Amino acid sequence: MTFIDRLRKIQHSGNSLLCIGLDTDLKKIPQHLLKKKNPLVEFNRAVIETTRDLVCAYKLNLAFYEARGEHGWHALRETLALIPKFVITIGDAKRGDIGNSSERYAHSLLHDLKFDAVTVSPYMGKDSVAPFLESKAHGVFLLALTSNPGAKDFQYQKVGKKFLYEKVIETASRWSDGNIGFVVGATQAQQLRSVRKIVPHAPLLIPGIGAQGGNLEDVVRYGCDANGDLAVINASRSILYASNGKDFAGKAREEAMRLNDAINSFRMKFFQH
């Protein structure tokens, strides 16, 4: 089964496009957890246990784990072991390098850590991405249009009559079928329409809902494919830190449920699910 087929199946069976970013910051988790042996893992465990039925994916930004050295790598592996097999795991690593280096990165993320999908920078071209594309069972989300202010430095530069991000998507979409997708920030919702026209059948990883203020209605309307699927809509801080008390897991579930219900309401509106 290709990654895209599996993603669609999971989104249908769970009736969810929601992805929770487990970008866990020890400075923000409830203070009582700091007394635990592995506070980061305990926090992630509680969030996963209370939201696993509401999501299609969890996205782990490796920066939050790598920064803690050996303890962070242990926490990363422990967290991955807690995620059920019926949920997609995304390693948000933003890798991309010359071929032999990318081959090592791909092995680490997809075969050692066993992420189902990864984020990759396409800036160095096809040979830097190819090692991640070898298995159709693994998803590869290429950075296309991001939400940060610096996106204007390159992504919106014109190449002929098109923006650079459009050329990146057009070119990279020919590198593989069945497992390639793109990262498009939720705060760029109006550009999602043009992205979907270029890649009508590709999954889009869309961060920026919640704390970053992306317009959820526009994200669903323009980010989904024609069937109302294949948008992976990520929220992190708004769910993880919905409470800093002992009720944090319950509040995380409430916020995840609110977001999932809102997403599905818009799917019904635009796609008649």
Q: What's the chain's average pLDDT?
A: 94
Q: How confident is the model at residue 124 (pLDDT cuts 50, 70, 90)?
A: very high
Cβ contacts of residue 81 below 8 Å, gap of 6+?
none
**Separation CA 263–CA 247 (nearest Å):** 24
Residue-level length of the chain: 273
Among 259, 254, 263, residue whose Cα is nearest residue 219: 263
Instruction: Compute the distance between CA of residue 117 and CA of residue 22 in angstroms, rounded to an integer.
Output: 15
Confidence of residue 24 (pLDDT cuts 50, 70, 90): very high
Kindly report the pTM of this predicted structure. Answer: 0.96
pLDDT tens-place string over residues 43-74: 999 999 999 999 999 999 999 999 999 999 99
* 251 in catalytic set: no
pLDDT per residue over 78-100, tens digit each?
Answer: 999 999 999 999 999 999 999 89
Look at residue 214 in the predicted model and tell me its pLDDT: 72
What is the 8-class DSSP label of residue 134? S
3-class SS letters over 54-104: CCCEEEEECHHHHCCHHHHHHHHHHHHHHCCCCCEEEEEEEECCCHHHHHH
Which pLDDT score, from 0 to 100, does residue 211 have?
57
Catalytic residue among 9, 94, 136, 167: 94
> What pLDDT is attached to residue 6?
97
Domains contained in the chain, CATH given:
3-271 (3.20.20.70)
Amino acid 149: pLDDT = 87
Among candidate residues 256, 148, 251, 150, the one with its CA nearest the CA of residue 208: 148
Please report the pLDDT score of residue 8 as a whole number. 97
Question: Distance between CA atoms of 46 and 56, rounded to whole angstroms?
Answer: 17
pLDDT (0 to 100) of residue 212: 60
**Mean pLDDT computed over 179-202:** 91
178 confidence band (pLDDT: 50, 70, 90): confident
Span 39-45, mean pLDDT?
97
